[in-house]
Structure formats: structure tokens, C-alpha cells
Amino acid sequence: MAAVPLERHWLDRTSWVDVGRGWLPGAGELFQRVRDATQWRAGAMWRYEKYVVPPRLSAWYDAGRPPPVPELTAAHAALRRRYGIEFDGYGMSYYRDGADSVAVHRDKELRWLDDTVIAILTLGARRPWTVKPVRLAPGRRILNDPSDATGLLDLAPGPGDLLVLGGRAQADWLHGVPRVAGHVGGRISVQWRWTSRTGRPLQGAGYAAARHFGR
């Protein structure tokens, strides 16, 4: 990993994001290798009355599974050392063009959201990557930015950039990748997730769970 500093920004008193620009060198060439070596899948989800295919491809690698490229093993180890935690593995999302996206959401599958670490490494094109509070109290500002009145923040990671959300960021904040008009190159997001399993676990189904009309 490059010797670049990770700058911590506090989203509020209990949620933070670390930003490392150019954390992984050679990410442009690495994008093509990961894209071609990964067995991508389009996982359909049941939404009320039909199956819906998310507008992106995905993959999952357990900690013991050989990675598509060795650089991801090095990244995995570097994150473990940096944050002193163990990850079960990592997931990947492939946004093929500007039409692929993911709506703002919390990583509810973790269930315990009071203390989490979510690391996101970007390979490929720069895309908007937004965070916004679940609730924004009147007059509240984020990141000490007096010009911000909506709470929406675009971190726009580029090739090799690392974003790490921590603290209560999954409890109190939403993140997503919006659609982009016009031509835009592909982007791969590599994600590591950890929870301390402290606090009250979240009730209800996660994002990928089937949804039905009430009866």
C-alpha cells in the first residue's frame, strides 16, 4: 500500500470517515485484472411481486478463498493491521457504466450497527459516492461545513482511493452510488465489513431479503 495518510473526518460526534486518496497504487491496471478474473453474478431479489435484478454485478470472497489478484490479499492484511480487527472476507460490486448504481442504504446485514468499520476500495472510474444522515435536525451541519444545509456529502472516490466508515456511521448515516448521465467508465468497489456486536441488534430483514406486500 502507498504511504499516504488517512485523513479522519467526523460526520457527527459518533460517526467518522477516513479518506485515503491513492491508497492503492496501480489501481487503473488492477481494475482490468480484477474485472476479468472475477466470477461476477447478478443476484436477483424478490420485491413484492417479481424478481428484480440489481443494476450492478457482485462477488464475495471468504477470507480463506484465493483472491482474483494477490494485491487484494495485501490490502486485506493492511486493513487488519491498521484497524486491529478481523474481517470474514470481502465483497465486490462492479458498476459497468453510469446506469449501474445502488440506492442510499445502511449495511443492515451486520445487525449490530453501534460500532462498525466498513472499508471501501475503489478500482476504475471516479464516481459519485454519497453519504447523508438518516435524520438531519434543523440547523444541523456536517463536517463543519457552514454551506451545507442538506447533509448530503459526495466523497467521489477515484482509482485506488480508500474510504472507511466507522463508529455509528451505519446506524445514523446512509451511503450510496447514484446513477451518472453520459459516458462513464466501469468501477469496482471492494468492501470489507466488521461489527463489534455491541449495543442492541437491529430488528427486521436486511437489504437483500425478500419483500412482500402486507397481508
Is residue 200 in a domain?
no
More confident: 29 or 49: 29
Is residue 79 in a domain?
yes
pLDDT digits (tens, 9 = 90+) for 8-17: 999 999 999 9
Whole-number average pLDDT of the chain: 88
pLDDT (mean) for 32-42: 97
Backbone angles phi, psi at 122, to 5 degrees: -100, 130
CATH number at residue 143: 2.60.120.590
Tally the domains of the chain. Answer: 1
Give the other-Cβ count within 10 Å of 59's Cβ. 17
Is residue 31 in a domain?
yes
Is residue 113 in a domain?
yes
Is residue 206 in a domain?
no
Is residue 19 in a domain?
yes
Is residue 215 in a domain?
no
Strand partners, 89: 62
Q: pTM for the full model?
A: 0.87
**Sign (positive/negative) of CA torsion 74, 76, 78, 81?**
negative
> For residue 102, what are the domain limits?
7-195
Is residue 203 in a domain?
no
